[in-house]
Amino acid sequence: MKKNYLRPVLPAVLALGLLGSCVSTKKYEAALAENRSLVVLQDELTRQKAELESERARLQQDKERLNQEKSDLATEKASTEASLRTNLNTKNQQVTKLSADLQAREARLAEMQRILDEKDKAVNSLRQVVSNALLGFKASDLTVDVRNGKVYVSLSNQLLFKSGSTKVDAQGQEALKKLATVLQNQPDVNVLVEGHTDDVPVARGTAGMQDNWDLSVLRATEITRILTDAGVAPQRVTPSGRSKYVPVDAATTAEARQKNRRTEIILTPKLDELFQILEKN
């Protein structure tokens, strides 16, 4: 505990009063009053000092708290920046991967488009070759056109068959053999032979036939034999019958029925290369 240097003044004054009778009562009282003032002043200074010490301690705590908050903010900032960098790197990697995937897809699409363009070119070339080979026949009996990326050779039954017959006439055989010669030089073309009839039922008692299904299939099969006998590989040719159910003209007039009695030979370039690309996708 700190010493109070003002408090010993009172005993000294009292001693002087006892020793010296020449000290007056008035001066004694003045000394006492001054001593009391000094004590009050000392107490006030002690109180203010205590308050200052308390304020200093509080300010020190505030400083430490602020420093801790500053440190926490710095740590949080560093953590946030690290997280942002990680997220940015992840996003950059994702963008790079997506960009690579997009380029790969664009390359595949470009390759598919190239093959489709080549197929269209081959189809148009095939149509021209077939048309040139079959120039000598009437347009009403034989047409060659392109539909849905395929070459359709449509032959009327007037050219091929007598009514109710499944045997091809001589002129029809000539046309089919010319077509077979073209197809031998087109090994990448598949051949579908479709027989079509009108809506008139097959005459009762016709040998080997119950209805127009039989008639259309048997005619397609006969044409298939002529093509393969003329040199077209059998594995490339598929005969099928559509009966009366895919008419060119839905009317029931004689003219409409004549249009509907036909055989369509559908030539389709093989798309193995394109299918391989699709399977990869």
55 assigned to some structural domain = no
Is the per-residue pLDDT at 6 higher than 50? no
Q: How confident is the model at residue 20 (pLDDT cuts 50, 70, 90)?
A: low
E strand or H helix at 113, and its extent? helix 25-133
Per-residue pLDDT, 12: 52
127 assigned to some structural domain = no
> For the chain, how many structural domains are there in total?
1
Contacts of 184 (CB under 8 A, 6+ apart): 231, 232
CA 181 to chain centre: 46
Q: How does pLDDT run across 61-108, given as a tens digit for each residue?
A: 999 899 999 999 999 899 989 989 999 999 999 999 999 999 988 988
210 assigned to some structural domain = yes
150 assigned to some structural domain = yes
69 assigned to some structural domain = no
16 assigned to some structural domain = no
Q: Are 267 and 194 in contact (CB under 8 A)?
A: no
CATH code for the domain of 167: 3.30.1330.60
66 assigned to some structural domain = no
110 assigned to some structural domain = no
Q: How does pLDDT run across 166-211, given as a tens digit for each residue?
A: 999 999 999 999 999 999 998 889 999 999 999 999 988 777 889 9
Q: How does pLDDT run across 144-154, given as a tens digit for each residue?
A: 999 988 999 99
Stretch 17-32: mean pLDDT? 70
Nearest CA to 219 among 253, 250, 245, 243?
243
Per-residue pLDDT, 114: 86
Q: How confident is the model at residue 22 (pLDDT cuts 50, 70, 90)?
A: low
Q: Which domain holds residue 215?
A: 138-279
Q: What mean pLDDT is reported for the chain?
A: 86
DSSP state of 169: P
